[in-house]
């Protein structure tokens, strides 16, 4: 099992609803950052730390997958802390 931590940025208002997380590679004014852990389990990336993410805005899932995937561990599926697939 491999585990990776990525820095996610979020809008405080949207974070309450679970869908205001962004996989920016640098800070952005007005957003707060949080390190979030993911592990690769059975070919899927599963969130293991932080507030549960329930959805992504725009192409943020793709941007997060770019940070998580590498030559060995690749997936198009991300699950939140509860095990539900995030779309």
Cβ atoms of 34 and 20 closer than 8 Å: no
48 found inside a domain: yes
| Span 6-50, pLDDT tens digits | 988 877 777 776 666 777 666 667 788 889 999 999 999 999 998
> How many structural domains is the chain composed of?
1
Q: Going by C-beta distance under 8 Å and a sequence separation of 6 or more, which residues neighbour residue 43?
A: 75, 77
85 found inside a domain: no
Enclosing domain of residue 39: 3-79
pTM over 0.85: no
Give me the pLDDT at residue 70, please. 94
Cβ atoms of 30 and 60 closer than 8 Å: no
23 found inside a domain: yes
H or E element that contains 61: helix 60-68
More confident residue, 84 or 1: 84
84 found inside a domain: no
Query: For residue 50, which of 29, 33, 62 has the smallest C-alpha distance?
Result: 33
Give me the pLDDT at residue 24, please. 66
43 found inside a domain: yes
């Amino acid at each position: 099992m491999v585990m990776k931590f990525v820095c996610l940025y979020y809008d405080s208002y949207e974070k309450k609803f679970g869908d205001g997380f962004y996989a920016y590679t640098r800070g952005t004014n007005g957003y707060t950052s949080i390190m979030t852990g993911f592990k690769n389990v059975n070919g899927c990336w599963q969130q293991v730390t932080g507030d549960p993410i329930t959805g992504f805005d725009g192409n943020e899932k793709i941007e997060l997958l770019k940070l998580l995937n590498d030559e060995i561990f690749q997936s198009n599926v991300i699950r939140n802390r509860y095990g539900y697939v995030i779309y």
